[in-house]
Structure 1
Amino acid sequence: MQQIKLSNMRIDVIQKDIKNIHLSVYPPAGRVRISAPLRMDLDTIRVFAISKLNWIKKQQQKLLRQEREAPRECLTRESHYYMGKRCLMKVIEHNAAPRVILKHSAVELYVRPHTSIEKKRIVLEEWYRRKLKEIASGYVEYWMKKMRVEDVEYAIKKMKTKWGSCSREAKRIWLNLELAKKPKECIEYIIVHEMVHLLERHHNERFIAYMDNYLPKWRFYKEELNRSPLRHENWDY
């Protein structure tokens, strides 16, 4: 990957088969990336970056002020997010199988006495996984019909740097487990984004046209997703 250095700022440059140049600033630390057409020389890309320098710095400042999640220990009255809403946890010890129950704005975590923090996290993660599957199932089925694609599979896993990914060959999309903490509209946006990749591999004008057609407010949902509390170090969307 090529890089442009402007003062103390490093900008990643990726050249690919696209018509227009695209600039992105990624949360949480404000990593900057430019996607440019293959025909564009590096000096032209540098001039473009210089012209956008003030905008880049403003975006980076916004990201640095963004809320971050502190490490969770699964304690009573600890804050946890579900579907974009902040919930308080209540840990309840009992001599039965562990489970999680959502009651209004509270997450009740039932575990056996002396359960370790790691085990509590696993129980909570499995609950998030089940909930995300329930939501994603309906969206995937709906958008398969809407996009006229068949046999799309989806799966959920922990991902360090992306909200989702798509395997065109396998017709499978992957969703980051962290999406269970985000608003439903943001979950739908990621699902649509990944499913559109079944129709168009690249983030080009055709891809954007599909997104505008299927989900006119996708830019708003993208911004909402990037404003929501972050956990991982680097996000690529």
Structure 2
Amino acid sequence: MTMELTSTGVPVRRLVQDRHVVEYVLIRERRNSLAATVYPSRVLLVKAPQEVADVRIEDFLRRKLCWILKQQRYFAQFKPPGKKQYVSGETFRYRGRTYKLLVSRRAKAERVALRHGVLTVFTASAGSPAHVRALLSHWYAQRAREVFSARLAECVQQFDYRDVPGLVIRRATRRWGSYSRKTHRIMLNLELIKVAVRHLDYVVMHELCHVAHKNHGSAFYRLLESKLPHWEKLKAELELNLFG
């Protein structure tokens, strides 16, 4: 068994068995048994009790090797999602769930509504993909402001801070969030509106800990652990896009 880091910093382990190379992410948590899940991205996530030895985990994976390979072959047959066309039938994520898009043209008013499990874009025009994208982007931004503000207000109650940090929302390509000591504001990535609340809360709690500790030192992680004991599991899920 070998181990390396992905570009996101998540440890990836590697097991070689019968000419097969199995890569997996290991999360240790409070549980009584081992469990393995293969996601559509073909990422293998293994959950194990805190005290279980690596050799037992490897034996577990060897016993499940046929099932793991079968699952990965199944997901491999599907083409990866291409660039969004913003047409009816496509899927979009919101708060950890996936919804089908319905474009309703010639509507009296332009708006976006989520109801009955369908994300509907009402447009008064012919509804070009660019226009639908603009309406949907505006809706995501509005919802992000409401949801992020509420989660920040909720999470900050776990800290004894006199002043609640301000909130900035923007699109970012390299980070989920950041904290500026100069402006006393937390930046959250707009893409977080697409993930489950538990993953959003992890990012918020992480940045709130930076209010007290600038760097990722031992004091920072002690504070984060005390506020969010399962933060490592949430971080791994978020960075690997394993949203539930």
Q: Is this a same-fold pair by TM over 0.5?
A: yes
**1:58 correspondence with 2:39:** no
Aligned length, in residue pairs: 185
Query: Which of 236, 240, 244 pairs up with 1:223?
Result: 236
Query: Which of 211, 215, 218 pairs up with 2:224?
Result: 211
Paired residue for 1:84? 96
Secondary structure of 1:72's partner?
A: coil
> In the aligned structure 1, how far is the partner of 2:129 from the partner of 2:174?
25
Work out the percentage of aligned pairs sharing the same amino acid. Answer: 23
**1:124 correspondence with 2:136:** yes
Conserved in 1, the CA contact under 8 Å of 2:106 and 2:126? no
Secondary structure of 1:198's partner?
A: helix
The alpha-carbon deviation at position 54 of structure 1 amounts to 4.8
- Per-residue CA deviations over 1:13-62 (Å, capped at 9, x if unaligned) read xxxxxxxxxx85235xxxx699xxxxxxxxxxxxxxxxx9858x9359x9
Change (3 A) 1:120 1:82: same
Q: TM-score, normalised by structure 1?
A: 0.68
The alpha-carbon deviation at position 227 of structure 1 amounts to 3.1
> In the aligned structure 2, how far is the partner of 1:53 from the partner of 1:107?
38
Query: Which of 127, 130, 137 pairs up with 1:115?
Result: 127
Paired residue for 1:142? 154
Paired residue for 2:182? 169
- Per-residue CA deviations over 1:78-121 (Å, capped at 9, x if unaligned) read 11111111110110012444211001321011112323322211
Read off the aligned partner of 2:200 and give its amino acid letter: I
Is there any run of 5+ residues in structure 2 with no aligned partner, and where? 16-21, 26-37, 44-74
Change (3 A) 1:69 1:173: farther
Q: Which runs of 4 or more aligned residues in structure 1 lie more than 4 Å from their structure 2 counterparts after TM superposition?
A: 52-55, 66-69
Change (3 A) 1:226 1:53: closer
Change (3 A) 1:219 1:139: same
What does 1:157-196 correspond to in 2, within 5 Å? 157-196=170-209
The alpha-carbon deviation at position 155 of structure 1 amounts to 1.6
Read off the aligned partner of 1:220 and give its amino acid letter: K
The alpha-carbon deviation at position 127 of structure 1 amounts to 1.0
Query: Which of 16, 20, 25 pairs up with 2:6?
Result: 25
Secondary structure of 1:71's partner?
A: coil
Conserved in 2, the CA contact under 8 Å of 1:132 and 1:177? yes
The alpha-carbon deviation at position 221 of structure 1 amounts to 1.4
> In the aligned structure 2, how far is the partner of 1:121 from the partner of 1:190?
26
Is there any run of 5+ residues in structure 1 with no aligned partner, and where? 1-22, 35-51, 231-237
Query: Which of 176, 198, 201 pairs up with 2:214?
Result: 201
Paired residue for 1:44? none
Q: TM-score, normalised by structure 2?
A: 0.66
> In the aligned structure 2, how far is the partner of 1:71 from the partner of 1:94?
26
What does 1:88-103 correspond to in 2, within 5 Å? 88-103=100-115
The alpha-carbon deviation at position 175 of structure 1 amounts to 0.9
